[in-house]
Amino acid sequence: MGLVNHTMVTHFILLGIPNTDGLQTILFFTFLIFYLCTLMGNLLIFSAIVADSRLHTPMYFFLCNLAIVDLGFSSVSLPKLLAILWAKNRTIGLGGCMSQVFFYHFLGSTECLLCTVMAYDRYVAICHPLRYLLIMNRRVCALLAAGTWITSSFHATILTSLTFTLPYCGSNVVDYFFCDIFPVAKLACADTYIIETVTFTNTGLVPMTCFLLILLSYIRIVYSVVKMNSAEGRRKAASTCSSHLVVVMLFFGPCGLVYTQPELSTVMVTAVQLFGYVVTPLLNPVIYTLRNKEVKAALRKLRGGQTLAE
């Protein structure tokens, strides 16, 4: 027993989704369809924006970044989850586990910051329309986008380093469907108070700060819209912001539930995170496409159809 307790862990075993015995085949094909549709939808959005010069504007530049994030975010754990469901391949190496933790928080933080930057972009477009292109010039957009990716990489590196500098010398069974900080840290044979405190602070502080900045942007936007004399102007402003607002709610809703309610049952947390992993990256391109004539026209152009808006 003493020998086992001093054997360093080199791999982990993921238990998968709880209470799904007998449903593996159905879940496999369901998640596979969602995953393929997510990849196709975000690749189409990315390709359409890159290919159509009319979409080379700040709003679509950030939407392009969001599509890249969704492509990566859906690929952090879904391929491994599919392997668990189909081949019952539950083993993941230490490096693979570290990668899941890093990229989950890297891409999650990037999406959080991107939503904030996109809210600022909408604020400038509606509240300062005459100076919009001057304020949101190419250099500013590039700096804002680079800042989100670089800041998120530091954020994820700190969390991943803190998690895996802990000694793992006992059980290697992760009671979850992917490697996240809290399920993995529970297995450490050392005091995890510091990592849990830092993680809770970071994962709570970043989304909360971003949410407050987004809220502030929309308070200013609503104030400007109310002051508009033109009904057409108000309609256009509402149409411009509605897609972004839905994406913000889809992101911050699950994020807030998981990280502000640590006592949630495993089943509830799993359902919420599966929604964020599987459904949200698919819905983002759909939301922006359904309500956006420019994107639909670019997609028609991409497949060789008519380019005129209906």
Provide the percentage of residues in the chain whose pLDDT is more than 70.
90
Q: Does any domain span residue 13?
A: yes
Q: How far apart are CA 66 and CA 284, in angstroms?
A: 8
Backbone angles phi, psi at 93, to 5 degrees: -70, 165
Question: Is 222 a domain residue?
Answer: yes
154 part of a folded domain: yes
Q: Domain of 107: which CATH number?
A: 1.20.1070.10
The answer as to whether 309 is a domain residue is: no
Q: Is residue 199 part of a domain?
A: yes
Q: For the chain, what is the mean pLDDT?
A: 84
Answer yes or no: is 308 within a domain: no
Print the domain residue range for 44.
Answer: 2-302
Structural domain includes residue 116: yes
Least confident interval from 105-119, 161-175, 192-206: 192-206
Alpha-carbon separation of residue 76 from 239, 259, 273 (angstroms): 32, 19, 12
Q: Residue 265: CB partners within 8 Å, gap ≥ 6?
A: none
Model pTM score: 0.87
Split into its structural domains, the chain has a count of 1
Q: Which pair of structure tokens corresponds to residue 293? A: 């004539």
Strand partners, 13: 91, 173
Backbone conformation region of residue 304, classed left if phi is above 0, alpha if psi is from -120 to 50, else beta: left
247-306 residue pLDDT tens: 888 887 776 666 666 555 566 777 777 887 788 888 888 887 766 777 778 778 777 754
Residue 307 included in any domain: no
Q: Tell me, what's the pLDDT at 262? A: 56
